[in-house]
């Protein structure tokens, strides 16, 4: 049976060759594996527009993207530090939840889910928090697909002499980001989003000077970010069992990103996917939860149609029968569902999805 196409923000549809890359075994202490890991670490910096010579490092961490976030939060905020989270959705709020569970002094500043943190308000917030050591935000908040102004916020945070943590889970590789021009201390992402690979680990791009200053701060053994970096630097290996097959897949996915033309080409494909979806859903009468100027090209949230027969679970099940998987909503203020436009999909696939949605709506109306 053919797998359905995934119109989600990740895990997502991957190429046959990325999946095929996992069909071999590799020793976790073998020289070939050490070389593979080193190549991945270097390539991630290149994609971000920086290098080790510029003072940046890549740390790979087992587990999902949330594991990477918890690794950073638990490892870099000092015992007497204060953590400020700028949130406009569930994923920003999750960072505050992690910090609070760890016993870190935390302030959660929330904006409506359809608005971004405003630079002027963030400036006032920083001034109100003289004890704050770290500020964090999500770049692309997957709750709605809104793209937050990370460049403007970065300048404000750094001007206030705080360290800046960015969750770029749903944006890295699919939105142009040049760390050499942004003052971000820790950027966290994962392979199973815009880099179109499989889940199994996350990665952190960090300023070396900031990372080295975290010695003694870690609140976890397995998620100790500095210790993980030191191990990778020392012998090229993970401290604990690495996700070997996921790393094999990721190495191939990075090759395919390069073959496609790099981030700029992928951005163009995702933008075309987004526009195809937007136009098609408008024709079917759907309304987006965000105005066009606030949307990313990663995922779109749509309000439930004004139809008394519409039930999302039924809608989802019928679409799955057509071979398409979408995402439920996560907004607190309105009923919605989400459709991702990333992964190994193109405009034709979006066209097929829209046609299937039209057929399902006809079925529901009968």
Alpha-carbon torsion (208, 214, 218, 221), positive or negative: positive
Mean pLDDT of 248-263: 98
Q: Are residues 127 and 174 in the same domain?
A: yes
pLDDT for res 108: 98
Of 234, 258, 282, which residue constitutes the final position of a domain? 258
* Angle between helix 225-235 and helix 31-47 axes, rounded to 10 deg: 120
Q: Are residues 221 and 334 in the same domain?
A: no
Going from the C-alpha of 204 to that of each of 52, 220, 277, the distances in angstroms are 14, 16, 32
For residue 284, give its domain range.
5-9+262-365
Q: Are residues 266 and 230 in the same domain?
A: no
Using CA atoms, how far apart are residues 206 and 188, in angstroms rounded to an integer?
Answer: 9
Contact criterion met (CB below 8 Å) for 183 and 154: yes
**Count of positions (residues) in the chain:** 366
Beta-carbon count within 10 A of 190 CB: 29
Q: Are residues 266 and 250 in the same domain?
A: no
Structurally, the chain folds into a number of domains equal to 2
Over the stretch 23-44, which tens digit does the pLDDT of each residue have?
A: 999 999 999 999 999 999 999 9
Res. 93: pLDDT tops 90: yes
Instruction: Find, among 132, 139, 128, the residue nearest to 158 by Cα.
Output: 132
Using CA atoms, how far apart are residues 327 and 305, in angstroms rounded to an integer?
Answer: 16
Using CA atoms, how far apart are residues 162 and 88, in angstroms rounded to an integer?
Answer: 21
Going from the C-alpha of 55 to that of each of 180, 187, 208, 330, the distances in angstroms are 10, 14, 5, 38
pLDDT band at 205 (very low <50, low <70, confident <90, very high): very high
Q: Are residues 268 and 246 in the same domain?
A: no
Over the stretch 171-202, which tens digit does the pLDDT of each residue have?
A: 999 999 899 899 899 999 999 999 999 999 99
Which CATH number covers residue 211? Answer: 3.40.640.10
Q: Are residues 307 and 219 in the same domain?
A: no
Structure tokens at 289: 């939860």
Contact criterion met (CB below 8 Å) for 70 and 225: no
Q: Are strands 336-340 and 327-328 parallel, antiparallel or unpaired?
A: antiparallel
Instruction: DSSP for 157-226, please give it.
Output: HHHTT-EEEEE-TTTBTTB---TTTS--SEEEE-TTSTT---SSEEEEEEEHHHHHTTTT--S-STT-HH
Q: Are residues 241 and 273 in the same domain?
A: no
Structure tokens at 227: 């210790």
Does the pTM surpass 0.85? The reply is yes
Structure tokens at 348: 């034709």
Q: Are residues 226 and 300 in the same domain?
A: no
Contact criterion met (CB below 8 Å) for 293 and 328: no
Looking at 19-33, 41-55, 156-170, 319-333, which range is the least confident one?
319-333
Using CA atoms, how far apart are residues 98 and 73, in angstroms rounded to an integer?
Answer: 8
pLDDT band at 365 (very low <50, low <70, confident <90, very high): confident
Contact criterion met (CB below 8 Å) for 56 and 177: no
Q: Are residues 110 and 243 in the same domain?
A: yes
Of 241, 258, 275, which residue constitutes the final position of a domain? 258
Res. 332: pLDDT tops 70: no
Q: Are residues 267 and 252 in the same domain?
A: no
Which CATH number covers residue 338? Answer: 3.90.1150.10
Phi, psi of 330 (to 5 degrees): -140, 15
Contact criterion met (CB below 8 Å) for 204 and 58: yes
pLDDT for res 162: 97
Structure tokens at 125: 């917030």
Of 224, 240, 258, which residue constitutes the final position of a domain? 258
Beta-carbon count within 10 A of 127 CB: 9
Q: Are residues 320 and 361 in the same domain?
A: yes
Using CA atoms, how far apart are residues 334 and 312, in angstroms rounded to an integer?
Answer: 13
* Angle between helix 312-321 and helix 347-365 axes, rounded to 10 deg: 120
Q: Are residues 281 and 334 in the same domain?
A: yes
């Amino acid at each position: 049976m053919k797998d359905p196409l995934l119109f989600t923000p990740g895990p997502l549809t991957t190429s046959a060759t990325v999946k095929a890359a996992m069909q071999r075994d590799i020793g976790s202490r073998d020289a070939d594996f050490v070389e593979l890991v080193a190549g991945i670490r270097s390539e991630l910096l290149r994609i971000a527009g920086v290098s080790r010579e510029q003072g940046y490092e890549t740390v790979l961490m087992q587990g999902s993207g949330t594991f990477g976030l918890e690794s950073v939060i638990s490892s870099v905020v000092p015992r007497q530090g204060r953590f400020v989270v700028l949130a406009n959705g569930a994923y920003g709020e999750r960072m505050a939840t992690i910090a609070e569970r760890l016993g870190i002094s935390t302030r959660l500043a929330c904006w409506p889910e359809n608005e971004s943190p405003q630079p002027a308000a963030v400036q006032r917030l920083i001034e109100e928090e003289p004890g704050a050591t770290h500020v964090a935000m999500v770049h692309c908040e997957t709750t709605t697909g809104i793209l937050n102004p990370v460049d403007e916020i970065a300048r404000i945070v750094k001007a206030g002499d705080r360290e800046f943590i960015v969750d770029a889970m749903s944006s890295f590789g699919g939105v142009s980001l040049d760390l050499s021009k942004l003052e971000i201390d820790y950027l966290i992402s994962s392979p199973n989003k815009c880099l179109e690979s499989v889940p199994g680990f996350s990665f952190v791009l960090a300023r070396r000077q900031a990372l080295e200053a975290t010695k003694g701060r870690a609140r976890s053994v397995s998620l100790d970010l500095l210790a993980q970096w030191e191990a990778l630097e020392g012998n090229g290996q993970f401290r604990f069992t690495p996700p070997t097959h996921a790393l094999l897949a990721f190495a191939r996915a990075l090759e395919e990103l390069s073959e496609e033309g790099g981030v700029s080409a992928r951005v163009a494909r995702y933008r075309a996917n987004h526009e195809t979806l937007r136009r098609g859903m408008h024709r079917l009468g759907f309304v987006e939860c965000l105005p066009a100027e606030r949307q990313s090209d990663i995922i779109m949230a749509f309000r439930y149609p004004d139809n008394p027969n519409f039930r999302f679970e039924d809608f989802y099940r019928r679409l799955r029968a057509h071979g398409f998987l979408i995402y439920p909503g996560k907004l607190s203020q309105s009923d919605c569902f989400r459709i991702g436009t990333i992964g190994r999909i193109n405009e034709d696939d979006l066209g097929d999805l829209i046609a299937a949605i039209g057929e399902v709506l006809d079925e529901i109306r009968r």
